Chain A
Amino acid sequence: MSLRVVVADDQAMVRAGFAALLRAQDGIEVVGEAQNGEEVVAVAAQTHPDVVLMDVRMPILDGIEATRIVVAADERVRVLMLTTFDIDEYVFAAIRAGASGFLLKDAPPDELVAAVRVVARGDALLSPGVTRRMIERFASSATARQGPPPALTGLTDREREVLIQIAAGRSNTEIAGTLFIAEQTVKSHVSRVLGKLGLRDRAQAVVAAYESGLVVPAIRE
């Protein structure tokens, strides 16, 4: 079964370009396009995509608000944010809103295709280096915090270890290698961690790991 993708961007050229690029790939199907935040909410509700490619900057309803609504309506959908600028605040806000990762619009086509697949599979963090740096910076700041930090009391020691590995940006395969356990075991640990903490995604897991204090940001400067 092929991946169902919706492309949302206010620029017709970007929509057409990305849609054409994704259609040309095996196993990816573009099921809808939207030119603003309001439209993408409607299109997503109608087509139940696996992945939404979402521009951050859109008229009527911006990409972050649209992400919040789309993921609240359908918990299976994964949102991949597209930005022109790698402005950390936006990206962090996007991940808090429920996006699984972000990508610069000028990323090379094969990177974009790979990103869509990674986000859909959910077994690794997108651009782990950048994502971690950004979460490190914001998760520890008081302004980013909304409500008390998540409690990790329900986790077993093993699951904590796995969460630390996720926060370090490692994929399931890498975690399996580091902890000397089977990849299948890692996978079930990851899904139990996400389930217990009520998280939808690895990206949110990184935020939770920092906000709970399980992982402490490296001292900067």
Chain B
Amino acid sequence: MPDSRRWNLPAWLHRTVSLAGRVDPVAVALLLATVAAIVLLSVEASIGVRVYRLPLVLAFALATLHAAALPLAVVRPLLATILAAVASLGLQIAGERPEGGPWPWWPAMIVTQSLIVLLVGLTGSWRVAVVGWLAGLVPSATAALLLHPANSDDASTNIVVHVSVTGATLLLGILLGQWQLIRGQLLRERVVSAEEYSRRLLAEDRARIARELHDVVAHSMSMINVQASTARYRHTELDQRSLHEFDEIAASSRQALTEMRSLLGVLRPGDAEGDLAPQPDLDGLADLVEQAQRAGMDVVLERADPVSVSELVGLAGYRIVQEALTNASRHAPAARVVVRCEGISRDVVLTVTNSAAAPVGDGRGTGLGLIGMSERAASVGGTVTAERTPDGGFTVRAVLPLLDGPPHGDRLPAVGDGS
């Protein structure tokens, strides 16, 4: 529909957003973790050989295992923490303690461990993250005390540094992970409840339309019945055959009504509205406009000569104008509104036009009002269009046949269809 263009994102932004929306965050994390792993692997292996005097093959193998825990943390957090703990312990035990150098935790290993606990905190549960952190910490501290008890002061300092750095990243990872989790849940809930809300609105709208159509038809049918069954009392000159005809009409209209009533039971889900006034029609437009004026709207009704339409068309037209006026008051409260009703060839044309006005709120509607109007129009074989006017206002135009035609298309449009 023409209106919706206004609210579309610019094309380039739209493309970027949808591209970003399609990228899998897990894949991105895996990629980044792998790059970091390669960098840290080469650093750890070369430091292991040069500073900690590990045999090249062993240094490379253990460093590879340790670094591999990084990408693994994205997909299998628990396994990654175990692997990291084992590999780092291996590196610490197999290497020599350099005089005055940091041990048991090499600086490169601290970086790797920090990244691992960060990733586990982000992707896994916080319990796994804490357990993994402790699993890397406790064995290495124990090993340090057993292997080099004489230098326990240096080792303690190193371990404190390690605990501080990895502890901070662990906390950061857990906080970010939980925040993501809660935000995701909120977003999902919001989407679900918005969907539910619009579905319910549509269903209610549709049920109301069906009910009103039903009421009008049942009403006409009962007219036919009364007219046919009382014909013999109102027209004494009728002969026997005509009387018989009338009785048959009365009987079949009665049967149709009985069938309609069982349908009404289905349509009216327990909450009959206490509305005992007859269904409104196009004559009610004057009242409608008057009500809107009383509510403070600047609205006028322009009506050429009275058009006579069937009850169904009258009701549909009334409801469409009602909805359009509601929309105008919501989206352009200060605007001047003109309601026009005219007979053009074999149609009655209803237009509700508001002048330009500062839009209120974000201007976004649910689009349900327009769907409801279209469904109403379609139910009597008519159409509704809505568009912006050249001067910045907005107009809703309903074209309904003067006589009920067969409805356009097959049925009401499917739920979720349209805007």
Residue of B nearest to A37 (CB): B276
Question: A59, B277: Cβ atoms under 8 Å?
Answer: yes
- Using A14-B223, A84-B219, A105-B225 as known contacts, say yes or no to A90 and B276 having CB atoms under 8 A apart: yes
CB of A120 closer than 8 Å to a CB of B: no
CB of A210 closer than 8 Å to a CB of B: no
Q: Which residues of A contact B257 (CB under 8 A)?
A: 104, 106
- Using A13-B226, A106-B257 as known contacts, say yes or no to A62 and B276 having CB atoms under 8 A apart: yes
- Chain B contacts to A: CB under 8 angstroms: 215, 218-219, 221-223, 225-227, 229-230, 233-234, 250, 253-254, 257, 261, 264, 268, 272, 274, 276-278
Q: A64-B276, A86-B261 are in contact. List 17 more A-B contacts (CB 8 A).
A: A16-B234, A17-B227, A17-B229, A17-B233, A18-B226, A21-B230, A57-B276, A57-B278, A58-B278, A62-B276, A89-B274, A105-B222, A105-B226, A106-B254, A108-B250, A108-B254, A109-B229
Residue of A nearest to B235 (CB): A20
For chain A, which range describes its interface: under 10, 10 to 19, 20 to 34, or 35 or more residues? 20 to 34
CA distance A104 to B225 in the complex (A): 11
Residue of B nearest to A60 (CB): B277
CB of A38 closer than 8 Å to a CB of B: no
What are the 8 A-B residue pairs with the smallest beta carbon separation, nearest first? A17-B230, A62-B276, A20-B233, A106-B225, A20-B234, A21-B233, A24-B233, A17-B226
Q: Which residues of B contact A59 (CB under 8 A)?
A: 277-278
Question: B227, A13: Cβ atoms under 8 Å?
Answer: yes
Residue of B nearest to A62 (CB): B276
Q: Which residues of B contact A57 (CB under 8 A)?
A: 276-278
- Chain A contacts to B: CB under 8 angstroms: 10-11, 13-14, 16-18, 20-21, 23-24, 56-59, 62-64, 84-87, 89-90, 104-106, 108-109
- In the complex, 10 of the A-B residue pairs with CB atoms within 8 angstroms, ordered by the A residue number, are A11-B223, A14-B226, A21-B229, A56-B276, A57-B276, A58-B277, A58-B278, A62-B277, A90-B276, A106-B254
Choose from B225, B230, B264, B276 the contact partner of A20 (Cβ within 8 Å): B230
- Using A17-B227, A18-B230, A106-B253 as known contacts, say yes or no to A85 and B218 having CB atoms under 8 A apart: yes
CA distance A62 to B229 in the complex (A): 25
Q: Which residues of A contact B221 (CB under 8 A)?
A: 106
Q: Which residues of B contact A18 (CB under 8 A)?
A: 226, 230
Question: B230, A109: Cβ atoms under 8 Å?
Answer: yes
Q: Which residues of A contact B272 (CB under 8 A)?
A: 87, 89-90
CA distance A58 to B278 in the complex (A): 6
Residue of B nearest to A83 (CB): B222
Choose from A64, A87, A108 the contact partner of B268 (Cβ within 8 Å): A87
Question: A13, B223: Cβ atoms under 8 Å?
Answer: yes
CA distance A3 to B233 in the complex (A): 18
CA distance A83 to B90 in the complex (A): 91
Question: A10, B278: Cβ atoms under 8 Å?
Answer: yes
Residue of A nearest to B231 (CB): A17
CA distance A18 to B230 in the complex (A): 7
CA distance A109 to B229 in the complex (A): 7
CA distance A87 to B261 in the complex (A): 9
CA distance A23 to B219 in the complex (A): 24
Of the listed residues B215, B222, B272, the one surrounded by the most CB atoms of chain A closer than 10 A to its CB is: B222
Q: Which residues of A contact B219 (CB under 8 A)?
A: 84
Question: A63, B276: Cβ atoms under 8 Å?
Answer: yes
A130 to chain B, nearest CB (A): 12
CA distance A18 to B264 in the complex (A): 25
Question: B215, A85: Cβ atoms under 8 Å?
Answer: yes
Q: Which residues of B contact A84 (CB under 8 A)?
A: 215, 218-219, 222
Q: Which residues of B contact A108 (CB under 8 A)?
A: 229, 250, 254
CA distance A24 to B230 in the complex (A): 10
Choose from A63, A64, A85 the contact partner of B261 (Cβ within 8 Å): A85
A11 to chain B, nearest CB (A): 6
Of the listed residues A10, A24, A105, the one surrounded by the most CB atoms of chain B closer than 10 A to its CB is: A105
Q: Which residues of A contact B225 (CB under 8 A)?
A: 105-106
Q: Which residues of B contact A104 (CB under 8 A)?
A: 257
Residue of A nearest to B256 (CB): A106
Q: Which residues of A contact B234 (CB under 8 A)?
A: 16-17, 20
A74 to chain B, nearest CB (A): 22
CA distance A17 to B378 in the complex (A): 35
B312 to chain A, nearest CB (A): 16
B160 to chain A, nearest CB (A): 70
CA distance A105 to B223 in the complex (A): 9
CA distance A24 to B232 in the complex (A): 10
Q: Which residues of B contact A90 (CB under 8 A)?
A: 272, 276
Choose from A23, A58, A105 the contact partner of B233 (Cβ within 8 Å): A23
- Using A84-B218, A85-B261 as known contacts, say yes or no to A58 and B227 having CB atoms under 8 A apart: no
